[in-house]
Amino acid sequence: MQYGRFAAYYDAMMHDVDRESWADYIDGFLKEANAHTVLDCACGTGAMTIALQKRGYHMIGNDASPDMLMNARNQAFAAGAKEIIFICEDMRKLKIHKPVDALISVCDGVNYLTSLQDAASFFRCAADCLKPNGLLLFDISSNYKLRSILGNNTFTEETDTYAYIWKNAYDQRTKLCEMDLTCFVKEGDHYDRFQETHIQRAHSVAELTNLLEEAGFTGIYAMHAFSREPAHGNSERIQFIARKAE
């Protein structure tokens, strides 16, 4: 299972991510679009959801992992953001009761859609969830990153409270990167060991652009993440922006 027990340690293991700067980057697009209501899809532990709520947006968080959402609800409560609605739902079958101004998905949510059919399903659902001219923002780890940086490499980290071994295998034919994560978490005077396997697909800009157009999106632009410059061959993260047709 993806993001089962690992959910409780996800934020600690993402300590090197500057989430406030990332939220500022997303906030800039939302302000330009005059968005007020925002759906954060594949929201995980709710870090972006809470950060944007604090910036004045009315937020809904969605994720397929009950464990991630439990952490998101707890963190929202602790942050005084009790107004956030969290929904446990597969992003390929996403439904909400009322259209929103913007839909976002940060930190690889779309990479976890491991086929073009799955990505197409998400884009169709996203269009249904947006008001006319609504904004879609999502990012991906690029083909370059999954193939050349993460793929077929092993990463490790050890702290006073946990350690992990992260082994990756990239399949050029399927464009799938299988990530085997073994965690050791300190419990008193011993370490508890558990494992998860995550699979991401290296979607290309052309593939996703075509699917977005088929789902009724316009003004599609792929940027080198955390900038407004066009994505290029060595972009590790690519930010997409698109508009639902009026």
Q: What is the pLDDT of residues 45-58, one digit of tens each?
A: 999 999 999 999 99
pLDDT of residue 229: 98
Helices vs. strands in the chain: H and E counts, helices first: 7, 11
Alpha-helical regions (H) of 95-167: 116-129, 143-144
Choose among 227, 226, 222, 225: nearest CA to 242.
222
Q: What is the mean pLDDT of residues 69-98?
A: 95
> 63 or 7: whose pLDDT is higher?
63
Are the CB atoms for 146 and 111 separated by under 8 Å?
yes
Q: What is the pLDDT of residues 91-118, one digit of tens each?
A: 999 999 999 999 999 999 999 999 999 9
Rg (CA), the chain: 18
> 217 or 188: whose pLDDT is higher?
217
Q: What is the pLDDT of residues 121-175, one digit of tens each?
A: 999 999 999 999 999 999 999 999 999 999 999 999 999 989 999 999 999 999 9
- In this model, does residue 87 exceed pLDDT 60? yes
Q: What is the mean pLDDT of residues 242-246?
A: 94
Q: What is the mean pLDDT of residues 191-201?
A: 93
> 190 or 178: whose pLDDT is higher?
178
Q: What is the pLDDT of residues 156-165, one digit of tens each?
A: 999 998 999 9
% of residues, the chain, pLDDT over 90 = 87
pLDDT of residue 9: 76
pLDDT of residue 15: 82
Confidence of residue 6 (pLDDT cuts 50, 70, 90): confident
Could you tell me the CA-to-CA distances from 108 to 123, 133, 194 in Å, in that order?
15, 24, 23
Confidence of residue 1 (pLDDT cuts 50, 70, 90): low
Confidence of residue 246 (pLDDT cuts 50, 70, 90): confident
- In this model, does residue 82 exceed pLDDT 60? yes
Q: How far apart are alpha carbons 61 and 44 in whole angstroms?
A: 8
Q: How far apart are alpha carbons 113 and 125 in whole angstroms?
A: 13
